[in-house]
Amino acid sequence: MIHASICTIGNEILIGQVVDTNSSRLAAALEEAGIRVTRMLSIGDDRKEILDNLRNELSLSDIVITTGGLGPTKDDITKGVLAELSGSTGFVEHAGQLSIIHDILHRRGLDMLEANRAQAQVPDRCEVIENRLGTAPVMVFRFPENSFGATLYALPGVPFEAVGAIPDIMRDIRNHYPLEPIMHHSLMVYGLAESALSEQIAPWEDALPEEMHLAYLPHPLTGIRLRLSMYGGIREDQKKKVEEQILRLKEILGNKVYSEEDDTLEATVGRLLKGAGKTLSAAESCTGGEISHLITLVPGSSAYYLGSVTSYAVSVKERVLGVPPETIEKAGVVSSEVAAAMAEGVRKLTGSDYAVSTTGLAGPDGDAFNPVGTVWIGVAGPKGTKTLKRQFRNDRERNIQRFAAEALNFLRLTLLDDLKG
């Protein structure tokens, strides 16, 4: 098995100013390719620290990936240290990256300075993978057998650029290392806690052939991603075997499965609506705009999403959404009746085909009738209105996320029901 280390370089991480998200993205990509990440490391912009730590990682791992320290300012010293480490005798200018730098500056209306031009210069012992998203190129150092016998990839630290470089790096790794072929298939599942899901699929999981492995990847907004991996081959008969297992798993889980790729509930709801030519609106109380925010994060959502009303005050529920004051007085603000009236109100107001609503208590406090973490969800559509109650036990921010995810899932199930016939 191929072993890898990931190393971030930069003082901003060691003082807690920046959370390192690059390492996690790199690790996920390496793991999917069957490479074992043994260590992640964060060190400062210090020559000796960089040299000592990278020497150590190169002696222990087959692949070392660094991010950061490649900027144009004087505290970014990684490139010089890598030149030293690799025994480079000087720097050479990379024409391709220089041309990219030129284009980027031109688009921003800036002139090329010496510091910009220097970004295209790399140690003569490295290969370059061009970085089209920024000014610092990706550098590849292949250390011969008599010195480490390992490969070092140096990536820029800007997350957008580091993540953008992952496909190029993975391609290079595949070209140079004998990776065991692995087939992955994902199922997105919503509506079961990890423990309940694990129990429900235990008989299926226990009967999996030895060369297949299942991973649980949970997330508060998207539920659980189940990833089935098949090691040792991607022949046609093996593909068939994986497909058979996935089919069986889908039968067990039914409509709790919402997608067969890495996905979100809001994108799934969007595809259902778009496919059926239907539109959506939302009326949010306790979620305060989060549902609308999630829906509109999906590019192209304007094709089916008309808009929403956040009715935080009772007066807005009554005046804008037309919830009858006597309903609020009789049933309480956090109730099935108010959730239904809100969904119906915003559906009428916007003229959408479907509407989803929330009314509840995100925290920090409950009220006289309901504990904190209570939410009523409504969905109104051409076939009527339905409501659903849920109870969570989290802090304010997490409750808002869980309420929004539950609402999107309730909407998804309603759309599935309505559209199947």
| Least distance CB 201 / a second copy (angstroms) | 18
Q: Are 180 and 231 in contact (CB under 8 A)?
A: yes
Q: Of residues 2, 41, 92, 246, which one binds a second copy by CB under 8 A?
A: 41
What is the per-residue binding string for a second copy in 311-330, x denoting contact by CB under 8 A?
A: xxx-xx--xx----------
Binding residues among 283-312 for a second copy as defined by CB under 8 A = 284, 287-293, 295-297, 299, 301-302, 305-312
Please report how many Cα atoms fall inside a 13 Å half-sphere around the Cα of residue 385, on the Cβ side.
Answer: 21
Q: Is there binding between residue 38 and a second copy (CB under 8 A)? A: yes
Q: What's the length of the chain?
A: 421
Nearer to a second copy, 198 or 327 (CB): 198
Query: Closest approach of Cβ 356 to a second copy, in Å?
Result: 13
When asked if residue 43 is in the footprint of a second copy (CB under 8 A), the reply is: yes
Rounded Cα–Cα distance for residues 355 and 188 (Å): 24
- Could you give the CA distance from residue 147 to residue 149 in angstroms, rounded to a whole number? 6
How far apart (Å, rounded) are the C-alpha atoms in residues 238 and 235? 5
Residue 391 binds a second copy (CB under 8 A): no
Near a second copy in 146-185, by CB under 8 A:
160
**Any idea what DSSP says for residue 256?**
G
Q: Which of residues 51-110 bind a second copy (CB under 8 A)?
A: 53, 108
Residues within window 208-247 making contact with a second copy, judged by CB under 8 A: 215, 217
Q: With binding defined as CB under 8 A, does residue 42 bind a second copy?
A: yes
Is residue 62 within 8 A of residue 2, CB to CB? The reply is: yes
Measured from the CB atom, is 18 or 276 closer to a second copy?
18
The answer to whether 44 contacts a second copy (rule: CB under 8 A) is: yes
SS3 assignment, position 66: strand
- Whole-angstrom Cα distance, residue 307 to residue 296? 9
Site for a second copy in 108-147 (CB under 8 A): 108
In Å, how far are 32, 227, 231, 236, 364 from 213, measured between CA atoms? 12, 8, 8, 19, 41
Q: Distance between CA 62 and CA 176 in Å, rounded?
A: 11
Give the three-class secondary structure for 145: coil
**Binding flag, residue 344, a second copy (CB under 8 A):** no
**Residues between 361 and 380 with contacts to a second copy, criterion CB under 8 A:** 362-364
How many chain residues interact with a second copy (CB under 8 A)? 73
